[in-house]
């Protein structure tokens, strides 16, 4: 699996989970499911944890987008579809989650409707 895909996904998942200021148990369970389904190794997780610990949210976001730029359009769609499903996992979608999603999708050059359609056509185990 593309390590840039995995790191981009981890960066954005981390930000999305913390966006509303409430870390719900369902979000943490979804994170575990994502790491297993996307075959993210302990080494990649450790690297992410070490590098994010000394970064601001903005730096984590910028780093996530840098990794995304090295992904294929299909990988970007998959990342955003996972984030889209994750944003709904706790039963409420916070305005900060919506902003993060829309801004990230736009920055990556992907259409929001494309993400929604991809999520519908490729149901995630999160939904």
Flag whether 24 is in a domain: yes
The tally of domains found in the chain comes to: 1
Residue 20 has pLDDT above 90, yes or no: no
The pLDDT assigned to 15 comes to 95
CB 60 within 8 A of CB 15: yes
**Higher pLDDT, residue 54 or 9:** 9
Whether 18 is covered by a domain: the verdict is yes
Of the pLDDT bands very low, low, confident and very high (cuts 50, 70, 90), residue 90 is confident
| 53 domain-assigned | yes
Within a domain: 23: yes
In a domain, 127, yes or no: no
The parent domain of residue 64 ranges over 3-121
pLDDT exceeds 90 at position 70: yes
Give the position of tokens 């989650």: 97
78 within a domain of the structure (yes/no): yes
Enter the tokens of residue 44: 């990649």
pLDDT score of 107:
92
Mean pLDDT of 51-63: 93
Kindly indicate the confidence band of residue 127, based on its pLDDT and cuts at 50, 70 and 90: low
Residue 79 is predicted with a pLDDT of: 95
Q: What are phi and psi of 22, to 5 degrees?
A: -125, 120
- pLDDT given at position 9: 97
In the structure encoding, which two tokens stand for residue 45, read together?
Answer: 């997780």
Average pLDDT, stretch 41-64?
A: 94
Q: Which of 103, 85, 95, 80 lies closest to 20, judged by CA?
A: 95
- 126 lies in a domain? no
Rounded to the nearest angstrom, the gap between the alpha carbon of residue 4 and the centroid of all alpha carbons in its chain is 12
Identify whether 101 is part of a domain.
yes
CATH number at residue 15: 1.10.3680.10
- Mean pLDDT along residues 53-73: 94
């Amino acid at each position: 699996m593309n390590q840039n895909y995995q790191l981009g996904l981890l960066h954005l998942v981390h930000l999305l989970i913390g966006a509303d200021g409430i870390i719900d148990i369902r979000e943490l369970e979804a994170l575990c499911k994502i790491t297993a389904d996307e075959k993210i190794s302990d080494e990649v997780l450790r690297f992410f944890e070490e590098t994010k610990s000394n970064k601001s949210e903005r730096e984590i976001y910028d780093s996530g987008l840098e990794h995304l730029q090295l992904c294929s359009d299909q990988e970007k769609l998959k990342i955003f579809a996972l984030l889209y499903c994750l944003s709904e996992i706790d039963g409420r979608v916070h305005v900060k989650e919506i902003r993060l999603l829309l801004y990230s999708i736009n920055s990556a050059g992907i259409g929001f409707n494309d993400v929604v359609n991809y999520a519908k056509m490729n149901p995630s185990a999160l939904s």
